[in-house]
Chains A and B, each alone.
Chain A
Amino acid sequence: MAYNIVDARGRSCPEPVIMTKEALDIYKGETVEVKVDAMVAVENIKRYAGNLGFIVEVEESNNDYRLLIRK
């Protein structure tokens, strides 16, 4: 399960997208959870995963964002 959690908080562009890509490359149906702390990362990951046909759900709490990515 821990495999599907990507913590990209504090990472600068484009590392959050690359980390998400690595997780989605081995996607087997389990939701991938990505944690980031910048809106730019949220937008870039949403666009990237969206282009691949994934559904992205964003939750915000205390300036951190949790993205739940699934097909």
Chain B
Amino acid sequence: MFSSKGKIIATGGIIGILSALLVKFGNPVNMGVCVACFFRDIAGSLGLHRAAVVQYIRPEISGFILGAFLIAKVKGEFKPRGGSSPMIRFVLGFFLMIGALVFLGCPLRMILRLANGDLNAITGILGYTAGIWVGIQFLKKGFTLGKSTINANATGYTMPVFAVIILLLLIAAPTFIIFSESGPGSMAAPIVLALGAGLVIGAILQRTRLCTAGGFRDVILIKDFHYMYGLIGIFAFALIGNVIFNFEAINIGFVGQPIAHNNHLWNFLGMTLTGITAVLLGGCPLRQTILAGEGDGDAAITILGLITGAAFAHNFGLAASPAGVTTNGKIAVIIGIVIAIAIGYSVVTAVKRKTDKINKEGEVEVGI
């Protein structure tokens, strides 16, 4: 039997190897899996933004959702629930995506970029860690998104049905669905492979609960390295996978990295924004996708925030590109950090007021 440490490293390992394989079979370099990029591509494919190079329905996303959905069903963990601060979650999801698209990748792609020699990912990791530290300060002061409650089945099935619909749209390819003819959106592993890899990743992540935000957060907050070992597994096996399958693409350094820029300040701040929002949301984009598959309506709202954020990022010229970060993008990151901190502060203040009131009325302290 595997120990729990062995299991979580193996989980990361499978993700790392599959990511390298997806690149080998057609995905853009360092983008075997990137949850932010994939939702951005889907937003483009649905015509929500018109950036011609990043429009494709990524079947990996359907795989993550359906893999988590199926295994949760089998294990009796599929539970339609929701109602925990949906508006706040939407806004946080929106800005999480802005941060990720200024850095050019979700936290998972950040690890994959490092595993291919892109040292800009180190700047990103430092920024992500800083953001997570900021988020933790709010958690320590009582930050909460409140309780979710059991919902109707319709809530729980929303994202699994969405996953099936976009898969059908990909296969049927009606004229209103847009597919990039050049750029990253035109580079994709065959549908069956991408979907299969997505299903496997969705299922194992549902079982092991691995989360990139959780990895860093737990080390800082409770000195628990469990999820961090999973992240190290992703890095180590993506590195091994790249050496075996994509050796010619490995490029160590800061300059000329695939689908990346080397503006250190904004790589750092972009991931700071992603880190704060991911901690306040209780999970990174990958984890939110898995939770949505398990019937969590709050995670589904977060995903709608991510998709909307991606659409705005390209419509308003906020997303970075290998050419660098736009002025609009820089302003949006600053606005995002201010709003995320304001949300944290507002919730902590509300919790404190309620606790004070309860204590004053002579009752014992209870959760809000």
Contacts and interface: CB of A to CB of B under 8 A. Distances in A.
B105 interface: no
B224 A19 contact: no
Interface string A25-65: 00000000000011110011001100100000000000100
A8 B118 CA distance: 41
Report whether over half of chain B's contact residues are helix, strand or loop; otherwise say mixed: loop
Contacts of A43: 209
B214 A13 contact: yes
Contacts of B145: 12
Interface string B335-368: 0000000000000000000000000000010110
Interface residues of A, number: 26
Contact of B283 (A2, A7, A13): A13
B139 A51 contact: no
Contacts of B149: 10
Contacts of A18: 139-140, 221
Contact of A21 (B146, B222, B226): B222
Contacts of B366: 7
A28 B82 CA distance: 36
B148 interface: yes
Given A13-B214, A14-B139, A3 B364 contact: yes
Interface string B79-104: 10100100000000000000000000
6 contacts: A6-B367, A7-B367, A8-B367, A13-B211, A15-B144, A51-B224
Given A11-B144, A14-B139, 11 more contacts: A2-B364, A7-B367, A10-B148, A12-B282, A14-B217, A15-B144, A18-B140, A18-B221, A21-B222, A44-B209, A47-B4
